[in-house]
Amino acid sequence: MLLIKNGRVLDPASKTDATLDVLVEGERIAQVGANLSAKDAEVFDAKGLIVAPGFIDLHCHLREPGQELSETIESGTRAAARGGFTAVCCMPNTQPVNDNASVTRGIVERAAAAGSVRVWPIGAASAGSKGEALAEIAAMKAAGIVAVSDDGKPVATARLMRQVMEYCQALGLPVVDHCEDASLAAGGTMREGPQSIRLGLPGIPAQSESICAGRDVEISGLTGGRLHIAHLSTRGALEHVRAAKKQGWRVTCEVTPHHFTLTDEDVRYDTNYKMNPPLASREDRDALLEGLADGTVDAIATDHAPHHPASKDVEFDRAPFGITGFETAVALGLNELVHPGKISLMRLVELFTTGPARVLGMERKISPGQPADLTVFSDSYSWTFYATQSASKSRNTPFDGRAFHGAPMATVVAGRIIFHR
């Protein structure tokens, strides 16, 4: 039994914002109310802290199977727990690709053994993510996937996207797309713009994302299928999502913390600023902030993409794309969005809880009977993030040495405190 006392409970589903106690029994929430008491309960004093439903990260890379030098399910989930996440959705671009039930089961079992945050795998949309034939999606669903994606790449053709979306609609799964036009993006290493010209680096125009997003949104309209746009980074793509939502089409999207914090002007010859989609222009970043505030954006997702140090310590154009993100996501959300007044604290909690849950077709709330997944955080705790102190095996982050006000303080999964700062 676990009793979390004196915390400020923020529950978007019930619009609760009050000082309340939460009593957990076994793996479920037993009671929520004022001045609760329970004999034999482990008491956690959450005074001065916020108690929210357990945060969900819709997009991450755990690198297992096949790339364990960069991260394992064990190290990745530990980092996720430190980041306040109670559940993470890992992308299928492992080695081998998670395109069949056996790989899916392997991931689920490793996650259970690690005993940390919940891992909900995302399966490949096409076999090997090669963009030709459909993967064994129904089999993977039985093994535990919550969505499909060919992340790392876009779903290869409009025709394939249609087939995947129709098939997945029948299975009740969303299709997550990494929106990119391969012909426009080819060879690019950062956002095309004045900074790419200045640095002499081949650029990827913003339209690479918006053209593909437009394609996907239309197919969602055509099929009625559920589309979720991964790591959305441009105004153009956001406009497609806005228009689709207006039409009642089942389109959702996520934005990463680095995309709402940094811009292409921050990029220099430092591979910790190299990711795909690349850091966008100031105008695009500002459009994302609007979308986060007005509800067009459904979720914040990290796209945690660890790469072991030797692979990133190379010339910019030879480095792999990606940065880590679990342990800085909440802090960036607080410092970049809430503290400057761009969104409310409740809205931030939505973006980490009910938003992602809705994309997956689930619920996320603090209410008796619900799974006891809770994220306890401070919106003021002063700390500095150091990459070397991260639980991840990788150090590729542009936020090394950054000071923050606000941090995850404790993470509860299935009634157990798996992280406590």
Partner 1 sequence: MVQRLTHLLGIETLTREQITFFLDQAKPFQEFQRYPLKKLATLRGKTVALAFFEPSTRTRISFGTAAARLGADTMALQAEASSLKKGESLMDTVRTLEAMRPDSIVMRHSSSGAPAFVAERLGVPVLNAGDGMHEHPTQALLDALTIRDRKETLEGWNVTILGDILHSRVARSNIYLLSKFGARITLCGPAPWLPRDVESLAPGLRRSYCTEEALEGADVVMVLRVQTERLHEPALPAEEYILEYQLTPKRLQIARPDALVLHPGPMIRGLEIDPAVADGPQSCVLEQVTNGLAVRMALLYHLVGGAAPEVPQTTKE
Binding interface with partner 1 (CB under 8 A): 187, 192-194, 196-202, 269, 313-318
* Least distance (Å) between residue 270 CB and partner 1: 9
Cβ closest to partner 1, residue 30 vs residue 185:
185
Residue 159 has a CB neighbour count (10 Å cut-off) of: 10
* Least distance (Å) between residue 199 CB and partner 1: 6
150-153 own/partner pairs: CB under 8 Å, 24+ apart: 150/92, 150/124, 150/125, 150/126, 150/177, 150/178, 151/59, 151/91, 151/92, 151/93, 151/122, 151/176, 151/178, 151/230, 152/91, 152/93, 152/178, 153/129, 153/178, 153/180, 153/182
* Least distance (Å) between residue 387 CB and partner 1: 17
- Return the axis-axis angle of helices 158-171 and 207-223, rounded to nearest 10°: 50
Question: What is the Cα–Cα distance from 35 to 7, expressed in whole angstroms?
Answer: 11
* Least distance (Å) between residue 396 CB and partner 1: 15
Cβ closest to partner 1, residue 283 vs residue 313:
313
Cβ closest to partner 1, residue 172 vs residue 200:
200
Cβ closest to partner 1, residue 66 vs residue 309:
309
Cβ closest to partner 1, residue 52 vs residue 190:
190
* Cβ–Cβ < 8 Å for 152, 91: yes
Cβ closest to partner 1, residue 184 vs residue 414:
184
* Least distance (Å) between residue 280 CB and partner 1: 14
CA-based nearest residue to 118, from 88, 162, 153, 82: 88
- The catalytic residue positions are 303
